[in-house]
Structure 1
Amino acid sequence: MSIELEAAAADSLSHLVGGGRNRHMPPHGSHCKNCDAELVGPFCHVCGQGADLHHRSILHLIYEAFEGLFELDGRLWRTLPALFFKPGGLARDYIDGRIVRHIPPFRCFLVALVVFIFAAQNMTHRSTVISQRNVARENARLATPQGRAEAAAKRRTEAAKDLRDDLKEAAADRDEELKDKDVSPQKTLAAYNRRIGRVQARYARSMHHADRVAQGLPAKDPAEDAAKPARPDKTRWFEKGIKKAADDPDQYWNVVFNWGHRGAVGLLPIVGLSLALVYRRRKDLYVYDHLIVAMNLMSFGFLVSAVGFLLPFSAMGWYFAAAAVWSLVNLFQTLRGGYGSSLLGAGIKTLVVWSITGFASVLLLTGLLVLAVATI
């Protein structure tokens, strides 16, 4: 009796996990709809297309779409844990050609990049919403006499503090220069007087702004911009871009993200070539192998950053500090396990690759932000 029950349970389980697919198989001797090869099983042995003839539901079509994009099969659950916790073994598998057991590295890189972009856009949108709420709250406070008086008093207090600090710093610098016998006292005092004039003018402007706030007017007087000397046309485009970015931060960050994925792809060869540089004596490895490893490293970085962008702003600082340490450890594990480096060798190469990548990232990010200002 128990044997019969086990057989019945096994038959039911086979239907749950896909055994029911055979109910929709074509008759024996049928040919593949794609390549016309004779079928000998549920999949064509020539092109791999399924021989299932039944009409799939809409939910099944949605599942297939996600499966094609994210590889929702056993490879996903083997690749992601290895990407985060065993990057050396994952890199070793790719280098040794054991690829079919994992998600293709470039597909993993692209999916991680898409997730990163969406998470970053969500973060900037949240930041914009918070900023708009703060502005609305401040405007509501300035709409009352008490609120205007408090805001004006705060500006006056800050201006007085800045004046004291600036005067103290200017006097200290003056006294230090006067100790140098090679410096002309007259020039030092003249420079000091000019500096004091600028400090006092800045204090006067701050007090004027406080008076305007107390009167219910915008803090900045439009006459100030009119009194400024006109700048050359070579720099006006940048000022206009900055103003547009400040007026519409959502649009600015959309431009940044539109260029961002291109910059991220441009960072890929930099990481790959930095790996090729530190392993230039390994004749058994090619640039292709280094690029595969670079895709894994960047996929890890994108996914870790995407998680951080979804956190509350109060937790981001701690998270990204821990993520920076984790990235170093991940890189070390990759070089140690994937390339078989010694502890000392992997440590030194980790610092070299980390430094090159960090410097290139700063340059790319700076260029990206400036480019977004120029094209907004």
Structure 2
Amino acid sequence: MAGEFEAAGDLVMAGASARALDTPSAGAAHAPSHGGAACANCGTTLTGEFCSHCGQRAHFHRTLHEVGHEILHGVTHFDGKTWTTLPMLLLSPGQLTREYIHGKRARYIAPVSLFLLVVFLMFFVFSFVKITDNTPYDAANAKANLAEIDRGLADLERQRTTAVAKGDREALTEIAAAITALKALRRPLATQIASPVDGVTSIPEIITQDIKRAAAEDNLKLNLGSSELNRKARAAFKNPELVLYKLQTKAYKLSFLLVPMSVPWLWLMFFWRRDIRLYDHAVFALYSISFMSLLFIIGSLALTFDFLHSGFWFALVFVVPGIHMFLQLKGAYQLSNTGALVRTFLLSWAAVITLSLYLMLLIILGVID
């Protein structure tokens, strides 16, 4: 449960960050209910519901109820903009992108805010994903895994003692995170050994088991383009639980890199058009990645509920992303059907290349950090 609680905390922080980016700015529409009073933040005379100088609300609460409301609102971001933006993102992505680029923004969630919320929601949901495990319970293998984790914890404790003696705070922080991760993996394994039952397991657990099995059978082939990187990777995968923990952590921390990695491809497709700016491509990428993240959430929930219909997964992975990309390109850049179709094909390949480079970067950072 430690991973789930950490994910929940990350989601609250993401919601708060996104809400901070999307709060009313100075000069927002005023209501005539606070005229004459002074802003509690900067002292400016109020002429409406918001301060014309700093943008703070004229009325503020000091109740526990308001704390709960702020947390709920920070996580869900439920306001009028949500119910306007999400249907547009799902059904009219091109119109949404074009209208936001050309100034019709008051009714929509800003693309950065939406990106933050959806990406962190994606990792939050993924942390709870459980899938049916039809593999018979292997008591000997489970005990061997538990013993390996215990050896890893003992080794980390020795490293912590050394780091304390050297006063290496950075190393202590990394070691503490690694110990927390291994303990989180140890608890369900120890519980299963104490009360063995076949049931559900998480995707990281399945990947970990596959890596250990491949390593035991000497079938773990690694080629990161460098003998030194390959050596470090083989050493790191002796503790696959820690590697996967690092990969998950870095994946959401570095998810923003997908935007600058996507913009050059879009620029190449429209570099001769002087009416299109890099900003337009960034907005396109933010909304597009937000939609793809929503698809990932739907897929995660389908796995959790053991919905494995092949037609559903084919549509989710191949059909829906292509249709959405076509509609967004056509509407955002005012293209013909042929122009949008050609660019959809090219951008689909660009997306595969970008995602592959992103995953390669995560793997390299995960095994050498």
TM-score class, shorter-chain normalisation, is 0.5 to 0.7
Specify which of 341, 344, 349 is matched with residue 355 of structure 1. 349
Could you say which residue in structure 2 is the equivalent of 1:138? 138
Q: How many residues align?
A: 254
TM-score by length of 2: 0.61
Deviation string 1:5-45 (CA, Å, 9 cap, x unpaired) is xxxxxxxxxxxxxxxxxxxx76x632121232222333334
Identity across the alignment (%): 28
* Counterpart position of 2:49: 42
Q: CA deviation at 1:102?
A: 0.7
Higher deviation after alignment, 327-336 or 58-67: 58-67
CA radius of gyration, larger in: 1
Q: CA shift at 1:134, angstroms?
A: 4.2
The answer to whether the aligner puts 1:285 opposite 2:286 as a matched pair is no
Q: 2:246 aligns with which of 234, 255, 275?
A: 255
Shift of 1:70: 4.8
Q: In the TM superposition, what whole-angstrom CA distance separates every residue of 1:67-98 from its partner, at most 9, and x where no partner exists?
A: 35654221111111111111011011112111
Q: Does 1:237 align with 2:210?
A: no
Equivalent AA in structure 2 for residue 315 of structure 1: F
- Contact between 2:229 and 2:368, CA under 8 Å: does it hold in 1? no
Structure-1 residue corresponding to 2:363 = 369
**Any unmatched runs of 5+ in structure 1?**
1-24, 143-219, 226-231
1:32–1:51 Cα contact (<8 Å) kept = yes
Change (3 A) 1:31 1:352: same
* Residue 120 (structure 2) pairs with residue 120 (structure 1): no
User: For each residue in 1:304-338, what CA deviation from the matched residue of structure 2 results, as whole angstroms up to 9, or x when unmatched?
Assistant: 10221122364357444212211111110011111
**1:87-166 equivalences in 2 (<5 Å):** 87-123=93-129, 126=130, 134=135, 137-139=137-139
Do the aligned partners of 2:262 and 2:354 also contact (CA within 8 Å) in 1? Answer: no
Alpha-carbon distance in structure 1 between the residues aligned to 2:329 and 2:228: 50
Whether contact under 8 Å (2:237, 2:243) holds in the other structure is no
RMSD: 3.1
Q: Quote how far apart the aligned CAs of 1:257 are.
A: 1.2
> Would you say 1:323 and 2:316 are equivalent positions?
yes
> TM-score, length-normalised on structure 1?
0.60
Kindly indicate whether the alpha-carbon contact (under 8 Å) linking 1:31 and 1:39 is maintained by their aligned counterparts in 2: yes
Residues in 2 aligned to 1:138 and 1:51: alpha-carbon distance in whole angstroms: 63
Deviations 1:266-288 (A, max 9, x none): 22112222111111121011101
The answer for unaligned runs of 5 or more in structure 2 is 1-32, 143-212, 219-226
Deviation at 1:353, TM superposition (A): 1.0
Assess, with a 3 A threshold, how the Cα gap between structure 1 residues 289 and 243 changes in structure 2: closer, same or farther. Answer: same
Q: Give secondary structure in 2 for the equivalent of 1:310.
A: helix
SS at match of 1:92: helix
What CA distance in whole angstroms lies between the structure 2 residues aligned with 1:84 and 1:307? Answer: 13
Aligned-partner Cα distance in 2 for 1:119–1:301: 14
SS at match of 2:40: coil
Secondary structure of the structure 2 residue equivalent to 1:272: helix
Go from structure 1 to structure 2 and tell me whether the alpha carbon gap of 1:37 and 1:374 turns closer, same or farther (over 3 Å shift). Answer: closer
- What amino acid is the match of 1:138? D
Name the CA distance, whole Å, in 1 between partners of 2:280 and 2:230: 45
Q: Which has the higher helix share?
A: 1
Q: Aligned equivalents of 1:49 and 1:31: distance in 2?
A: 11
1:119 and 1:307 in contact (8 A); partners too: no
CA distance in 1, matches of 2:41, 2:229: 61
Amino acid at match of 1:44: C
Look up the equivalent residue of 1:57 and give its one-letter code.
Answer: T
Partner SS, residue 290 of structure 1:
helix
Residue 101 (structure 1) shift: 1.5
SS at match of 2:239: helix
Question: Structure 1 pair 31/294, CA: closer, same or farther in 2 (3 Å)?
Answer: same
From 46, 58, 69, give the equivalent of 1:63. Answer: 69
Distance 2:141 2:278 in 1: 61
Corresponding position: 1:32 with 2:32: no
